[in-house]
Amino acid sequence: MAGGHACRLVLGGPVTVPRPLGRLFAILAVLVSTLTHSEARAGEADAEPITQVLELFTSQGCSSCPPADRLLTKLAKEPGVLALGYHVDYWDYIGWRDIFGSAANTERQRAYAQAFATTTIYTPQMVVNGRKGVVGSHEAKIRKLMRTTALPAGDGTPKVALSVEGDRLHITADVGELDPDAPAPVLMLVTFDDEATTTIERGENSGRTIVNTRPVRDWRLLGMASEEPMDIDLPLASLLKRGEPNGGCAVILQSVTRDGVPGPILAAAQMDFDDP
C-alpha cells in the first residue's frame, strides 16, 4: 500500500447506490422558495468564482494516501479551486479508525464508481469536476484533467452562491434552461472542517503525523433544480461544529445520469464560516 500506488477494494458485486432522492436528508427549519426574479441579498459578499472541484477519497489508515493528502493541501491554495477530502471507512479494520471517516463518504465514492462503470473503489482517488477519477497522488494527470474539464463560466451558465444573513445561511442557484430529456441537476451542501493535523497511533501509518485539508464533515442533497432560480435558507447554527465558526461549507450543483448517479459538476461556491 505504500508509495504512489492506490489501495483498491473490489466490491463483491454490482455497485448499488440509492438514487439521489434516496440520499436526501431531513433538514429542520428549512425554508425553500422559488423565485422568478432573484435580487442581490444584503450580506452577500463577492466570492472568487469556483472553476475546479477536486474531491479526494482518502483514509488515514492507508499508507498510500499521505502524498495525495499533501497534494490536496497544495491544490486547495490555488485560485478558483474547491478542494474537499472525503474520508472513507473501509480501511478502518486495518488498525486505525479514521477520525473523519464515514459510510456516507464511502457511499459517494461508490456512486462515482457506478458512474465510471467500475466495480473497484480505491484510495487515494481524486475525482475532478465530477467527470473522472484518477490516483490522487498523480499530479500531472490531475492537472491535465483540470485543464480539460473546468466548470462552465460566462453568461448563461449555471451559477450558485452562498451568503450569511443574520442567523441564516442563504443559498441561491440559477440553472437556466434545462434539457427536457435529461434528469434535473441536484443541489448538494457540504460542510467541512479546517485543516487538521493528526498523529496516527496504529495501523499502516502508525507513528506518522498527517495533515488533512478540508475533511468533509457532512454532505446532503438539498433537492432537485428547476429552470426557476432557487433560494434556500438554512439555520446557520445547525451547520456549525459545536456552535463555533470552525471550517466552512460549499454548495455544488451537479448533473445526474438516468441511472441516478452523479455526473459532471455544473457550478460550485464555498464559504469559510469565520469569514466576516
Mean pLDDT of 91-102: 95
Region of poorest pLDDT, from 39-48, 54-63, 97-106, 142-151: 39-48
Region of poorest pLDDT, from 20-29, 143-152, 187-196, 264-273: 20-29
Q: Which residues contact 92 (CB under 8 A, 6 or more apart)?
A: 59, 61, 98, 101
State how far the Cα of 7 lies from the Cα of 17, in Å rounded to an integer: 21
Tell me the per-residue pLDDT of 201-251, one tens digit each, with 9 for 90 and over.
Answer: 999 999 999 999 999 999 999 999 888 889 999 999 889 877 666 799 999
Structure confidence at residue 240 (pLDDT)? 86
C-alpha cell at position 76: 486547495
Neighbours of 24 (CB within 10 A): 15
Region of poorest pLDDT, from 109-123, 124-138, 223-237, 250-264: 223-237
Mean pLDDT of 113-118: 96
Percentage of the chain beyond pLDDT 90 is 69
Percentage of the chain beyond pLDDT 70 is 82
Q: What value does the CA radius of gyration of the chain take, rounded to a whole number of Å?
A: 18
Tell me the per-residue pLDDT of 141-193, one tens digit each, with 9 for 90 and over.
Answer: 999 999 999 998 888 899 999 999 999 999 999 998 888 888 999 999 999 99
Q: CATH fold of 24-36+44-272, please? A: Glutaredoxin (3.40.30)
Structure confidence at residue 39 (pLDDT)? 36
C-alpha cell at position 202: 496504529
DSSP H/E element including 8 = strand 7-10
State how far the Cα of 166 lies from the Cα of 207, in Å rounded to an integer: 44
State how far the Cα of 212 lies from the Cα of 210, in Å rounded to an integer: 6
Nearest to 75 by CA among 100, 50, 94: 50
Query: Which DSSP state fits 16?
Result: -
Mean pLDDT of 192-205: 94
State how far the Cα of 51 lies from the Cα of 269, in Å rounded to an integer: 9
Structure confidence at residue 4 (pLDDT)? 57
Q: How confident is the model at residue 8 (pLDDT cuts 50, 70, 90)?
A: confident
Structure confidence at residue 18 (pLDDT)? 42
